[in-house]
Amino acid sequence: MNKISIHGEWSSKMAFILAATGSAVGLGNIWKFPYMAGQYGGGAFVIAYLLCIIILCLPVMMAEVMLGKRGRCSPINTMRNLVRETSQSKLWVLLGWSGALAGFLILSYYSVIAGWAMAYVPTLATGTFTEINNIPASEINDFVDSIFNSLIENPIELISWHTVFIIITMIMVAGGVKGGLEKAVNFMMPALFIVLLVLVGYAMSTPNFSEGFYFMFNFNFNDLLYLNCTETSCELSGEGLLAAMGQAFFSLSLGMGSIMVYGAYLPKDASVSKVTTAVVLADTLVAILAGLIIFPIVFSNGLEPGAGVGLVFKTLPIAFGQMPFGTLFGTLFFILLVLAALSSSISLVEPAVAWLIETGKFNRISASVTSGLLVWLAGLITVFSFNIWSEIKPLAGLNLFELLDYLTSNIMLPLGGLLIAIFVGWLMKKTVVAEELNSSIDSFIYYIWYFLLRYITPLGVGIVFLNAIGIFS
Ligand code: PFF
C-alpha cells in the first residue's frame, strides 16, 4: 500500500504540521476550553484535560495519522483498505462512517459559533466596546451581556453569518490540498499566537491575574479521585471528567477522521511521532494561553467563570474596550479567531468531501458544494436552539445545540479514539505499524506508545465512560 493519495499530498512535513495544527487550534481552544473549565470548576478540569491529552490523545493521534498514511484515502475507504489488508470484519468501516457523520454534525454548529466571531469583527472595529469607559463599573456586565444576547437572539443575523462562514469554508475545500488548505494556515498560526501573547500581557496587568491563574491551576488529586460535585466545592464529577476527555479529543480533532485524512496526504518518509507531538504541544499551549487571558479578566470584573457559551464573547470585549489600541487588537483578535475556525472547519468536512470524490460521481467542486449545502441546512438547528427553539430540550435538559455538542464531543469522538486504539493496537500487524511510523519496533518511543495504545487508552476511555454513567458510584 505505497500509493500516493488521489487527492494530492502536502508539500512538506512542515505543511502537514501547520495544517494539522490549523485543524486542532480553533474555537475549541479559545471559545470552548475556557467556558468548560469555568463550568467544571477550573483546576480539576484543567488537570483532567491535560492528563487525557497526554495519556489518551497523544497515542491516538499517532495511531490516527498512521492509519491515514497507510490507507491513503478518505477515512471510509482507508478503513476499507485496512480491513482488507488485516482480514478483519467489514464492520470496522463503520469507524470511517461515524467519523464523517461526526464531522458533519460538528461543522453544523461550529459554523454558527464561528459566525458569532465574525459578527464581532465589525462590532469591535466600530469601537462599540470603548463605551465601557463611559459607564459605571457596575453596568459593564449588563452592557456586554446585552450585546451578546441581541446577537444570539436574532436568527436572521445568525443565519447570515453562518451562511458566509460555510461559503468560505467550501471555497477553501474546493481549492484542494495544496491550493486551499495549505496556504491559509501559513500566516495565520503565527499571527494568532502573537495576538494571544499580547493579550496575556494585558491579562497580567489586570488586578486579579493571580486569582485567574490560581483558578486554572489549583487542583488537588482528590478532585480526580472523588469525582464529586458538592454544594460548596466543585470537585470534578464523572460528568466533568467525561467533558474533559471529550474536550481533549475535540481540541485535537481526534476520533473522527480529520487527522486521518490529513495523514493520508503526508509524505511517506515523515516521522509520525515528531509531527504529532508538535501539533499536540501547539494546541495545548493555545488552550492554556486562552485560559490565562480569560480568567483574570473574569475575576477582575466580577464576572461568573461558569457563564457558559458566551464567556469569551463577554469577557474579551471588556479587555478590548479598556486597553490601549483595544479596538485594533480586538478587531484583529476576532479576525484571527475566524481564521482559526476556518482552518478547523475545512478539516471537519474534508473526510466527507474526499469520500464523495472517491465514489467517482463527484469532482472536488461538486463534492464541496453538496457537503456545504447539507451542513448549512443542519446548522439551522443550532441557529434556532439559541432563540426560537431555546425551550426545546429533548433529553436531559439539554437544548438541541447542547445535545449535538454532547453527542459528538463526549461520545462519538472518544468512542472513535477507542476504536482506533483497538484497531491499531490489537488488529494491525506490528511490523506494518512500525513501518508506517518510520520507527523500529524496538525503539523506546515505539514501545511506550504501543503500550499506551494497547492498554491504557482503551482502559482510560472505558473507565471515563463507565464512570460517567455512574457504574463506580
Ligand atoms: N479541533 C477543533 C477546535 O479545537 O476548534 C475542532 C475540531 C476540528 C474538532 C476537527 C474535530 C475535528 F475533527
- The CATH code of the domain that includes 87 is 1.20.1740
* Nearest residue (CA) to ligand 1, atom 11: 253
Shortest-distance atom of ligand 1 to CA 341: 5
Shortest-distance atom of ligand 1 to CA 26: 5
Shortest-distance atom of ligand 1 to CA 31: 5
Query: Ligand 1 centroid vs 411 CA: distance in angstroms?
Result: 15
- Contacting residues for 115 by C-beta, under 8 A, at least 6 apart: 158, 160, 161, 162, 164, 165
Query: Ligand 1 centroid vs 74 CA: distance in angstroms?
Result: 17
pLDDT value for 437: 86
In a domain, 301, yes or no: yes
Q: Quote the Cα angle for 315-318-324, to 5°.
A: 135
Query: Ligand 1 centroid vs 305 CA: distance in angstroms?
Result: 23
Residues with CB under 6 A from ligand 1: 23-24, 26-29, 103, 106, 250-251, 253, 256, 258, 344, 347-348
In this structure, are residues 331 and 121 in contact, taking their beta carbons and an 8 Å threshold?
yes
* Nearest residue (CA) to ligand 1, atom 12: 253
* Nearest residue (CA) to ligand 1, atom 10: 253
- Domain span at residue 169 reads 13-468
pLDDT value for 151: 97
- Contacting residues for 185 by C-beta, under 8 A, at least 6 apart: 18, 19, 21, 22, 343
In a domain, 7, yes or no: no
pLDDT value for 229: 45
pLDDT value for 13: 84
Concatenated DSSP letters of 252-274: TT-SSSHHHHHHHTS-TT--HHH
Residue appearing with cell numbers 480533532: 253
Query: Ligand 1 centroid vs 26 CA: distance in angstroms?
Result: 7
Shortest-distance atom of ligand 1 to CA 251: 4
* Nearest residue (CA) to ligand 1, atom 9: 253
Report how far residue 398's alpha carbon sits from residue 408's, in angstroms, rounded to the nearest whole number: 14
pTM score, whole prediction: 0.93
- Contacting residues for 189 by C-beta, under 8 A, at least 6 apart: 18, 21, 22, 25, 282, 343
pLDDT value for 177: 61
For residue 229, what are the β-bridge partners? Answer: 234
Report how far residue 293's alpha carbon sits from residue 326's, in angstroms, rounded to the nearest whole number: 14
Query: Ligand 1 centroid vs 17 CA: distance in angstroms?
Result: 15
- Contacting residues for 138 by C-beta, under 8 A, at least 6 apart: none
In a domain, 204, yes or no: yes
Hey, what amino acid is at 408?
A: T
Report how far residue 278's alpha carbon sits from residue 284's, in angstroms, rounded to the nearest whole number: 10
Report how far residue 376's alpha carbon sits from residue 394's, in angstroms, rounded to the nearest whole number: 22
In a domain, 161, yes or no: yes
In a domain, 34, yes or no: yes
- Cα 399 to Cα 63, 96, 152, 155, 406, distances in angstroms: 34, 28, 14, 16, 10
* Long-range contacts formed by 301-305: CB under 8 A, 24+ apart: 301/137, 301/140, 301/141, 302/141, 303/141, 304/38, 305/37, 305/38, 305/39, 305/42, 305/215
Q: Roughly how many angstroms between the first and final C-alpha of the chain, as a whole number?
A: 47
Burial class (CB in 10 A: 0-12, 13-18, 19+), 377: exposed
Dihedral over Cα of 65, 71, 72, 75: its sign: negative
**Torsions phi, psi of 439, nearest 5?**
-135, 155
Ligand 1: residue of 74, 348, 350, 407 to mutate (most ligand atoms within 8 A of CB) is 348
For residue 234, what are the β-bridge partners? Answer: 229
In a domain, 220, yes or no: yes
Query: Ligand 1 centroid vs 252 CA: distance in angstroms?
Result: 6
Rg of the chain (C-alpha set): 22
Query: Ligand 1 centroid vs 251 CA: distance in angstroms?
Result: 5
Report how far residue 403's alpha carbon sits from residue 408's, in angstroms, rounded to the nearest whole number: 8
**Other residues' Cβ atoms within 10 Å of the Cβ of residue 265:** 25
Query: Ligand 1 centroid vs 87 CA: distance in angstroms?
Result: 31
C-alpha cell at 377: 441546512
Query: Ligand 1 centroid vs 60 CA: distance in angstroms?
Result: 15
Report how far residue 27's alpha carbon sits from residue 298's, in angstroms, rounded to the nearest whole number: 19
Query: Ligand 1 centroid vs 47 CA: distance in angstroms?
Result: 20
Total domains in the fold of the chain: 1
Shortest-distance atom of ligand 1 to CA 103: 13
pLDDT value for 180: 59
Ligand 1: residue of 36, 95, 185, 253 to mutate (most ligand atoms within 8 A of CB) is 253
Ligand 1: residue of 279, 344, 346 to mutate (most ligand atoms within 8 A of CB) is 344
Ligand 1: residue of 188, 347, 405 to mutate (most ligand atoms within 8 A of CB) is 347
Query: Ligand 1 centroid vs 424 CA: distance in angstroms?
Result: 22
Can you state the percent helix, strand and coil of the chain, rounding each to 5? 80, 0, 20
* Nearest residue (CA) to ligand 1, atom 7: 253
Query: Ligand 1 centroid vs 441 CA: distance in angstroms?
Result: 31
Instruction: State the maximum Cα–Cα separation within the chain, in Å, rounded to a whole number.
Output: 70
Report how far residue 144's alpha carbon sits from residue 141's, in angstroms, rounded to the nearest whole number: 5
In a domain, 352, yes or no: yes
Report how far residue 446's alpha carbon sits from residue 430's, in angstroms, rounded to the nearest whole number: 10
pLDDT of the chain along its 473 residues, tens only? 556 788 878 888 888 888 899 999 999 999 999 999 998 888 889 999 999 999 999 999 999 999 999 999 999 999 999 999 999 999 999 999 999 999 999 999 999 999 999 999 999 999 999 999 999 988 999 999 999 999 999 999 999 999 999 999 999 888 876 665 667 677 778 888 888 998 899 899 988 899 999 999 887 655 554 444 454 554 567 788 899 999 999 999 999 999 999 998 888 888 888 889 999 999 999 999 999 999 999 898 888 888 889 999 999 899 889 888 889 989 988 998 998 899 899 999 999 999 999 999 999 999 999 999 999 999 999 999 999 999 999 988 899 999 999 999 999 999 999 999 999 999 999 989 988 887 777 788 889 999 999 999 999 999 888 877 767 66
